[in-house]
Amino acid sequence: RTFISPCHAGCSDYRTLANGSKVYTDCSCVPKTNLSLDPTAQEDDNSWFLTEGACSVDCGNRFYIYLAVVCFVKFIGASGRTSNFLVSLRCVDQKDKTVSMALSVLLLTVFTFIPAPILFGYLIDSTCLIWGRTCTRKGNCWLYDADKLKYLTNFTSAAFIALGTLFDVGVWYYAKGLKIFDEDVDEEKSSQNLNSQ
C-alpha cells in the first residue's frame, strides 16, 4: 500500500539509513508483515515499517500486450485516412474543393480538437482520489484511482473509435460507386495520344 505521508500511515518514529533514505516505524495503519530492520527483533509493533516513495507496480507482460494492441489499432486507423481524404475531395465539384476542405477543418476543430481536451480532462479529474488544497482553492490531484483511470480513458477512446468506424462503413456503403482515381481520364489521354500518332 502507498500512503500520502507518514502521518497518514500513523507512523510515530523514523530512522535514517546509511544511504540517506528514511524508514518510518511504529505505523499503526500498515498491515503487519514479517519484515524487520533488525533480524533479532521480535514480532511486535516496532517491526512494521514504511519506506519513502510509492510502491513499485509490476505490470509484467500486460504493458507489452497493451502496447501491441494500441499500435495495431493506430495502424488500422491510419490506413483509412488517405482514402477518406480522397473521398472528401472527389465527392464535390472542382470549384467547391477549397470550401469543402475549409469546412472539413472547421468541423474537425469544433467536434474534435476543442471538446477532446475538455472531455478527457474531466474524465481524468473524476478518477482523482485525493486533491491537493491551498488556502483558497483546490490544487492538483495527488493520487488517482489507477484502475478507474485506465478503464475510463481507454474505453471512452474505444467508443469514439467504434463510432468513427461506423461512420466510415456508412461512407463506404453509400459512396461505393465513387471513382477515387482518374483511371478513365488517363485511358482517354493515352488513346488520344495513340490516335494522333
Convert the pLDDT of each residue in 90-131 to its tens digit.
788 888 888 988 998 999 899 989 999 999 999 999 999 888
Instruction: Please tell me what DSSP assigns to residue 31.
Output: P
Cell of 127: 478518477
What does the alpha-carbon distance between residue 43 and residue 4 come to, in Å, rounded to a whole number?
Answer: 26
Whether the Cβ atoms of residue 22 and residue 52 lie closer than 8 Å to each other: yes
pLDDT over threshold 70, residue 47: no
* Residue that wins the pLDDT comparison between 150 and 189: 150
Stated pTM of the model: 0.65
Q: Assign 3-state DSSP to the chain and report helix, strand, coil percentages, each to 5.
A: 55, 15, 30
Whether the Cβ atoms of residue 87 and residue 175 lie closer than 8 Å to each other: yes
Whether the Cβ atoms of residue 124 and residue 140 lie closer than 8 Å to each other: no
* Residue that wins the pLDDT comparison between 17 and 43: 17
Boundaries of every domain in the chain? 1-36+46-56, 57-112, 115-175
17-34: average pLDDT:
77
| Residue 34 pLDDT grade (very low, low, confident, very high; cuts 50, 70, 90) | low
Convert the pLDDT of each residue in 144-177 to its tens digit.
898 899 999 999 999 998 898 898 888 888 877 7
What is the chain's mean pLDDT, rounded? Answer: 79
